[in-house]
């Protein structure tokens, strides 16, 4: 089983956990990589999401061997047997615990941004990680949540080695694991995209969950986000997508992803969440069919991608009669600009993130929609290409450079800046201003 990314892993895992929806569970992500997976599980089960912060306590002279673990709320799980056999001195135990407590408190404050920890008392706790290697951290987490009052502990992971999965079944009441390959060597080999999850992404996902955008319980409230899977008719094919609408949304932004990405892109989804919070609907969809993605040349077929984006725009206009904007990334930005230049397309604004506007060729001069180009300050080649494109655009346009950011905007705060710039551009150009 090969997973696209953590979003894909979360959605597959959620399907295997639907039998727990009636237990009113709390979903807990193990930081950092487990949180994006847990986010999708919480969304599917309409469950609250939190982070489980656990610190293993390593034997001073053999750090890989844990003699216990600590969790929030003063939870302390100690293996007296290991302490006794290891002849660990009390002073050494206290030193290790003090260091671990300090780091645990720092992480908890950072991830929750001042929000209180969700109570697990008498609840079903679903512990989620992006995969298991040795299982030591997951085992410690199971003990910690049980000590925090959870009535039932379920461990859910996409992939794990068979021996670790078997051992963890002695630690949790239930283990849900999608795959236990015998040839297991590392979690990352089972993902196409296993890029590092940043603290900022964890903070953003937990904040989104806390705002009520995951559980869907407030879907009847004004401004609540309702997301539904859709099939977009474009270019003679049906493309999978996720449409997120708000009651009374004044506009919708369509996302055109870049090469090697998909509608599951965690970066685009973070930007989409920021737009949702600003009152904008979003449509993330795949411009290529799964079989087409295998052919590298297809991701640079700008005319084909733009044609599908144009068809998808007509489809969306027929479904939601509000102004539409385009958010394009990398080669997807070229497709968005080429589509925006088409005579029969009504698009109100375009934002390019780390885009390749040069691939839109001579059509840049035909773009009529206000266009914002966002580039990382350390992405030298793409920055030069965008400066040249700015000279060729004849519409209202602007180039914003995010200092020290590289092509994927992975630096702390960089993607948040992209989301802020995109939000302001779209609200200014898509939403009618009073007066």
365 in helix, strand or coil?
A: helix
Both 270 and 159 in one domain: the answer is: no
Of residues 85 and 52, more confidently modeled: 52
- Output DSSP code: residue 115: P
Q: What is the pLDDT of residue 123?
A: 93
Both 263 and 161 in one domain: the answer is: no
- pLDDT confidence bin for 296, thresholds 50/70/90: low
- pLDDT confidence bin for 286, thresholds 50/70/90: confident
Q: What is the CATH number of the domain that holds 109?
A: 3.40.50.2020
321 has a pLDDT exceeding 50: yes
Both 100 and 236 in one domain: the answer is: no
pLDDT tens profile 379-422: 999 999 999 999 999 999 999 999 999 998 989 889 999 999 99
Q: What is the CATH number of the domain that holds 299?
A: 3.40.50.1820
Strand 252-256 and strand 281-285: the pairing is: parallel
Continuous H helices in 148-278: 162-168, 199-210, 266-277
What is the average pLDDT across 63-82? 75
* Nearest-10 crossing angle of helices 34-45, 199-210: 20
- pLDDT confidence bin for 255, thresholds 50/70/90: very high
Both 298 and 348 in one domain: the answer is: yes
Both 244 and 185 in one domain: the answer is: no
Both 257 and 121 in one domain: the answer is: no
Both 267 and 353 in one domain: the answer is: yes
The encoded tokens of residue 282 equal 């979003």
pLDDT tens profile 322-354: 999 999 999 999 999 999 999 989 999 999 999
Quick check: is 138 in a domain?
yes
For residue 172, what are the domain limits?
6-200
Quick check: is 244 in a domain?
yes
Quick check: is 1 in a domain?
no
In the block, which residue shows the tokens 């948040």?
416
Number of domains in the chain: 2
Range scoring the smallest mean pLDDT among 58-67, 225-234, 314-323: 58-67
Both 426 and 353 in one domain: the answer is: yes
- Dihedral sign, CA of 127, 129, 135, 140? negative
Both 354 and 420 in one domain: the answer is: yes
Count Cα neighbours of 346 within 13 Å in the Cβ-side half-sphere.
11
């Amino acid at each position: 089983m090969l997973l696209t990314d953590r979003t894909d892993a979360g959605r597959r895992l959620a399907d295997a956990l639907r039998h727990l929806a009636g237990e009113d569970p709390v979903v807990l992500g193990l930081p950092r990589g487990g949180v994006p997976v847990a986010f999708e599980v919480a969304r599917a089960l309409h469950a609250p999401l939190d982070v489980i912060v656990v610190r293993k306590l390593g034997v001073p002279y053999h750090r890989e061997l844990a003699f216990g673990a600590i969790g929030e709320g003063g939870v302390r799980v100690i293996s007296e047997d290991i302490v006794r056999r290891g002849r660990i001195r009390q002073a050494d135990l206290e030193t290790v615990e003090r260091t671990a407590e300090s780091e645990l408190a720092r992480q908890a404050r950072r991830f929750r941004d001042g929000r209180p920890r969700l109570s697990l008392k008498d609840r079903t706790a679903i512990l989620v990680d992006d995969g298991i290697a040795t299982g030591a951290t997951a085992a410690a987490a199971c003990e910690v949540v049980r000590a925090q009052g959870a009535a039932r502990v379920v461990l859910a992971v996409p992939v794990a080695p068979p021996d670790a999965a078997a051992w963890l079944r002695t630690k949790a009441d239930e283990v849900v694991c999608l795959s236990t390959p015998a040839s297991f060597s590392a979690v990352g080999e089972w993902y196409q995209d296993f890029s590092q999850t940043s603290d900022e992404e964890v903070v953003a996902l937990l904040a989104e969950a806390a705002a009520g955008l995951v559980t869907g319980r407030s879907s009847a409230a004004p401004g609540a986000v309702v997301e539904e899977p859709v099939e977009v008719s474009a270019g003679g094919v049906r493309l999978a997508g996720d449409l997120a609408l708000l009651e009374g949304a004044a506009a919708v932004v369509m996302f055109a992803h870049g090469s090697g990405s998909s509608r599951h892109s965690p970066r685009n989804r973070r930007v989409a969440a920021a737009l949702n919070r600003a009152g904008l609907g979003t449509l993330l969809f795949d411009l290529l069919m799964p079989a087409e993605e295998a052919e590298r040349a297809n991701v640079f077929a700008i005319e084909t991608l733009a044609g599908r984006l144009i068809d998808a725009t007509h489809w969306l206009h027929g479904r939601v009669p509000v102004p539409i904007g385009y958010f394009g990334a990398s080669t997807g930005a070229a497709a968005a600009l080429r589509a925006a230049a088409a005579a029969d397309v009504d698009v109100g604004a375009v934002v390019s993130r780390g885009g390749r506007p040069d691939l839109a060729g001579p059509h840049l001069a035909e773009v009529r929609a206000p266009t914002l180009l966002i580039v990382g300050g350390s992405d030298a080649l793409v920055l030069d290409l965008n400066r040249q494109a700015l000279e060729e655009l004849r519409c209202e346009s602007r180039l914003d450079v995010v200092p020290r950011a590289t092509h994927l905007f992975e630096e702390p705060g960089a993607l948040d800046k992209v989301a802020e710039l995109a939000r302001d551009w779209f609200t200014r150009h898509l939403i009618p201003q009073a007066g």
